[in-house]
Amino acid sequence: MSTTGQIIRCKAAVCWEAGKPLVMEEVEVAPPQKHEVRIKILFTSLCHTDVYFWEAKGQTPLFPRIFGHEAGGIVESVGEGVTDLQPGDHVLPIFTGECGDCPHCHSEESNMCDLLRINTERGGMIHDGESRFSINGKPIHHFLGTSTFSEYTVVHSGQVAKINPEAPLDKVCIVSCGLSTGLGATLNVAKPKKGQSVAIFGLGAVGLAAAEGARIAGAGRIIGVDLNPKRFEEAKKFGVTEFVNPKEHDKPVQQVIAEMTNGGVDRSVECTGSIQAMIQAFECVHDGWGVAVLVGVPSKDDAFKTHPMNLLNERTLKGTFFGNYKPKTDIPGVVEKYMNKELELEKFITHTVPFSEINKAFDYMLKGEGIRCIITMGA
């Protein structure tokens, strides 16, 4: 492309300070350096993680910053040493990566790359610590190595999944974070057998993706647990068959579920980040074979407390990161599930806004309206 090796000037939604509306700015995007690619972002969506760091809750504030990490686009140019990607490739940038060289990448059991694992505090690129974004010479911090709220972004090649060019980027962009996290938690970690019962704690986007995984696996009963009764109607579209609101019971919810299921569910997936829900999700699975999977991120001072007999009675507790998917190796296959009509994505997408109105996406999420809002970059 004619822009190869050149600085690109484009629009980006910049967050100048915590909790304040994003401001549309013209930014300069430097060419990709060693092991980096520059991507033209066509569609991005808003994830709760963006909102959490935009609000600067519980972490070191890093501003000005360009947020965004769920997106789809086309490679514009590649840096030195990049051999598996080329200009024109359709790709999904991912908030975590796969270097291909570390023990985690060599292990079939792990996706927690030593080099490219999620790092929320890094504001520059791994190669040199510098930002590829600037305004009038002043650097703008990156976010999760992706920063997709920009018409062009620079990403480490290990964080880029090359996908089927026939896949519609305005749909499959949501595969790059929340959807895969929930889907993989069920399909790759909980692994319910056909006809088994699954309890899903938390019916936000990740929980609904976990329910979708249970539906794909052929679960017989999918029990949704949430404090918001308004979520149940929506959850039915994702295979949820029953709903439990802990506020409506005067006994622990794990006891309610055990009574509903003759001793406990076969599998449970926790998608809230609440330590109480994590304990409930573990204690509601059946002894002998029950498996509970934790997905939500707890507060830093939380401690998980349960009686050891719950483990000795052959219940299994597992955790998962990004649904145990390796970004470069596995995410193209998730896109193929959609292309083969095994996976439904449209029902996750409840709103669409032009890039110029990106702050509306934040409003929808803060009000709890909808599941995913697609932001169209060219609009």
Would you call 113 a catalytic residue per the annotation? yes
Q: What is the mean pLDDT of residues 277-287?
A: 98
Q: What is the pLDDT of residue 268?
A: 98
> What is the residue type of 259?
E
Residue 234: pLDDT band (50, 70, 90) is very high
User: Catalytic residue among 3, 10, 28, 48, which?
Assistant: 48
Are 351 and 224 in a shared domain? no
Q: What is the C-alpha separation between 195 and 219, in angstroms, rounded?
A: 5
All residues at 6 or more sequence positions from 358 whose CB lies less than 8 Å from its CB, including other chains: 13, 22, 24, 46, 149, 375
User: In this structure, what CATH number is given to the domain that contains residue 218?
Assistant: 3.40.50.720
> Does residue 260 sit in the same domain as residue 189?
yes
Shared domain check, 295 and 249: yes
Told to judge if 284 belongs to the known catalytic residues of this protein, a careful annotator would answer no
What mean pLDDT is predicted for residues 216-231?
96
Told to judge if 15 belongs to the known catalytic residues of this protein, a careful annotator would answer no
- Segment 31-42 shows an average pLDDT of 98
Q: Are residues 36 and 123 in the same domain?
A: yes
| pLDDT band (50, 70, 90) for residue 90 | very high
How confident is residue 368, by pLDDT bands cut at 50, 70 and 90? confident
Same domain? 138 vs 19? yes
Over the stretch 186-210, which tens digit does the pLDDT of each residue have? 999 999 999 999 999 999 999 999 9
Indicate if 33 and 165 belong to the same structural domain: yes
Domain tally for the chain? 2
Q: Which one is catalytic: 15, 47, 173, 284? A: 47
| 338 domain-assigned | no
The domain containing residue 88 runs over which residues?
Answer: 8-174+345-376
Residue 29 has pLDDT above 70, yes or no: yes
Are 102 and 72 within one domain?
yes
- 80 and 214 together in one domain: no
Whether 45 maps to a domain, the answer reads: yes
pLDDT at 252 over 80: yes
Catalytic residue among 65, 90, 98, 99: 99
Q: Catalytic: which of 177, 271, 284, 373?
A: 177
| CATH (domain of 24) | 3.90.180.10
Same domain, 164 and 208: no
Q: What is the pLDDT of residue 105?
A: 98
Give yes or no: 177 in active site.
yes
Task: Look up 99 and say whether it is catalytic.
Answer: yes
pLDDT, position 299: 82
Q: Is the pLDDT of residue 58 over 70?
A: no
Q: Please tell me the number of Cα atoms within 13 Å of 5 on its side-chain side.
A: 2
Among the ranges given (267-271, 361-365, 375-379), the one the predictor scored with the smallest mean pLDDT: 375-379
From 3, 10, 117, 234, active-site residue? 117
Is residue 78, in this structure, part of any structural domain at all?
A: yes
The contacts of residue 120 (CB under 8 Å, 6+ apart) are: 53, 59, 143, 144
| Average pLDDT for the chain | 96
Residues 59 and 192 in one domain: no
